Amino acid sequence: MGKLQDRIRAERSRQFVGRIEEKTLFRSTIDRIPIPFLVLSIYGPGGVGKTTLLRQFEMICQESSIPFLTLDGRNLQPTPDFFIGALCMSMGVTSLQAATQAMAEGGRFVLFIDTCEAIEPIDGWLRESLIPELSDNVLVVLLGRKRPSAAWRSDVWQSLCRSIPLRNLSAADSRSYLVSQTVPSNTHDQILSMTQGYPLALSLVAENFAQSGSVAMGPDPTLDIVTVLLDRFLESVEEPIHRDLLEVCALVRITSEALIAEVLDADRATELFAWLKSLSFMEITPLGLMPHDLARDAISMDLRWRNPDRYSALHHKVRNYYSDRMERATGPAQQMILFDYIYLHRDNPVMEPFFQWHTHPNAFSDQAHPSDLPEILRMVENHEGSESAKFAKFWFEKQPQAFQVMRDSFDPGRLKGLLVTLNIAECPEAQEDPATAIAIKYLESTAPLRKGERATYFRYWMADEGYQSVTPIQSTIFVSMVQHFLTDPTLAYSFVPCSTPEFWAPMFNYAMLPLLEAVSFEANGSRFGVFSNDWRIMPPKPWLALLSEQEVPIKEATEKSRPKGDMVVLSKEGFEDAVLEALKSFTNASKLAQNPLLKSRLVIDRLSGDSDTKEKVSTLKKILREAADVLASNSKDEKLFAALDTCYLQPMKSQEAAAEKVDVSIATFRRHLKAGTARISEQLWQQETGQ
């Protein structure tokens, strides 16, 4: 009895057409010893069939008993360490040396790297560091959308690297494909005229025919062919839930069975995932399913235009799914979920002018090394002057771990960007730098930090080319800032200085990070505006949720979620004083109306945005009573509650009278009262801070 994989291989061979020259070149290359060149680069636009050709190359390797390994750039982080880790894990070894040794054993080995554009930042490292360490019996096959960089076509690589562009199928090959899909021959001319042999378009025609039994299109030549084909395909999807599934898949980065169960239908999740997996333009990854980029864009744009309310509802469901998982995850898993969350905002119409989401920076992020200091100082001095560079050197000595650099993917020694994330809480050195000193002064006078809280100052952020203008490096830096906001549980306050605050104001205002004139400063003859946020008033999770609500057209939800402008943040000492005053004024509504606790998170989080003073006073009294009842419910604290009850909640004429009622001496009564007040304060402080 044969294996299922043999039938799969046979079906792939039946459906595959064309690419004779590419397959011949690959076969002749791996048949020769030694291999005539080290790198084979296949490049072409999305949907042209690179991954499909890769599967044919893999089959050729299997037929020739040549071992191979395939890595997909979409599943890799663009750093050398992550790539090495993925390579070693796939080969079942623990070190790069062991991996290269395993590849060297035997006659030949092929390393396929698909979707190379996703790891473009380490292109130079692959060429200059990794590949030279491999045995000369290894052929590296790179598949991506971009033509290899000039470095692959110069020096020794001219003879060691072969590059092949992948084009549309010929008319003959296109007809062969349509025949393999049983598409009627009398429609071939019309289809070829529309698709021009574009493989993704051909597969969508076949999919449309399989679903509806029809290939009638009638395209508008002014529209993109893929959009037209997808529109026709979506019209032929009979089950509404299948259309819903395609819309969800177009919205998210990766579609898993778990996501389908949560967002659409738990009972049919397995069935729906299998249906989605069967579609020809769906790509299978280790983490789930991804539609081809062009298919994703077309479905998403169609939904936004056709039914914005539906788009909004799906956006919120998916956001809630990620939010729930993010709370339960830690470490790298949490970072992956956060990446999926951020992906939902890739097309935000307000934020789009300030980001370059679809242009890669040709750089990768790394911790700064001592040897990077000269380049860091050069970059800072070039853009902000010698005085600013002096403080950059100062901070590198004090907080070297705060320096994150963006390394040129082709020349890792060259820095393309810089992000310095200082912790200025309990930091005496911050008084030495005028920029951070004024921020510390502001915090001390207006928003004092509590014990264990952190204040972050992004002292330097810039691209080497473009400084603080909109560039791929700047976009990467801003995403790093957001990740910091969301993953530092001690963060209380953040400051982001900008050399051109008037330019960045629309984006920061949209993100609810206001310009704080009180902490502006001068450097190199320019006035730096500083955007800030008190994360105790608007914590990161509600902040991110509100941004999501602004992403989609649900105005009511946005208005309800906006932060309360009159909220205050009290130090622990100030909070304790306010609790004591509130207890003393428990029966005096006019005095309670002046208590700062009315503007605390403790009270405001229990109210709607339009609550009046009377409602706030009533809520504060309820909170105090609840805290006192906790003491009353514990037999060990009954004496403390009795003192609070007779002195504050149902006050006697004097403390002496209260002491007499509870049958203790006045000294003991006051000790119980002080202890009870402290217990109430501690309870409420935990509620206020979540500590």
**Helix/strand/coil (H/E/C) assignment for every residue in 408-437:** ECCCCCCEEEEEEEEECCCCHHHHHCHHHH
* Tokens linked to 309: 């309310």
Q: What pLDDT was estimated at residue 2?
A: 57
Residue 191 is predicted with a pLDDT of: 84
> pLDDT tens digits, residue range 620-634?
999 999 889 888 888
Most confident of 79-83, 227-231, 305-309, 356-360: 79-83
The pairing of strands 526-534 and 491-498 is antiparallel
Token reading at 333:
């898993």
Distance CA 543, CA 562 (A): 9
Q: What is the pLDDT of residues 389-438, one digit of tens each?
A: 999 999 999 999 999 999 988 788 889 999 999 999 989 999 999 999 99
200, 295 in Cβ contact below 8 A? yes
In angstroms, rounded to a whole number, what is the distance separating the alpha carbons of residues 604 and 570? 14
462 closest CA partner among 377, 577, 526: 377
Q: What single-letter DSSP state applies at residue 515?
A: B
Residues 6+ apart with CB under 8 A from 381: 388, 389
In this predicted structure, the answer to whether residue 523 has a pLDDT above a threshold of 70 is: yes
Determine the residue type at 543.
W
Superfamily of domain 4-167: P-loop containing nucleotide triphosphate hydrolases (3.40.50.300)
State the pLDDT confidence band at 678, using cuts at 50, 70 and 90: very high
- How far apart, in whole angstroms, are the C-alpha atoms of residue 357 and residue 337? 18
Residue, of 673 and 107, whose pLDDT is higher: 673
Give tens-digit pLDDT for 459-513. 999 999 999 998 889 988 888 898 889 888 899 999 999 999 998 988 898 888 9
Over 90: is that where the pLDDT of 72 sits?
A: yes
Residues 172-204: pLDDT tens digits?
999 998 988 888 888 898 888 777 788 888 887
Q: Which residues pair with 254 in a beta bridge?
A: none
Amino acid letter for position 548: S
- Six token digits for residue 688: 């206020």
Task: Report how far residue 242's alpha carbon sits from residue 238's, in angstroms, rounded to the nearest whole number.
Answer: 8
The Cα 26–Cα 76 span in angstroms is: 25
Which pLDDT score is estimated for 445?
87
Q: Where are the domains of the chain?
A: 4-167, 173-348, 354-561, 572-689
Structure tokens that stand for 421 in this block:
């994330």
What is the CATH number assigned to the segment(s) 354-561? 3.40.630.30
Question: Which uninterrupted H or E stretch holds 69?
Answer: strand 68-72
Q: Return the pLDDT at 551.
A: 63
pLDDT score recorded for residue 6: 63
Distance in angstroms (rounded) separating the CA atoms of residues 290 and 282: 6
Confidence band for 58, pLDDT divided at 50, 70 and 90: very high
The answer to whether 202 touches 191, Cβ cutoff 8 Å, is yes
pLDDT tops 90 at residue 515: yes
**pLDDT tens sequence across 562-571:** 444 467 777 7
- Would you state the pLDDT for residue 329? 77
Mean pLDDT value of segment 269-289: 85
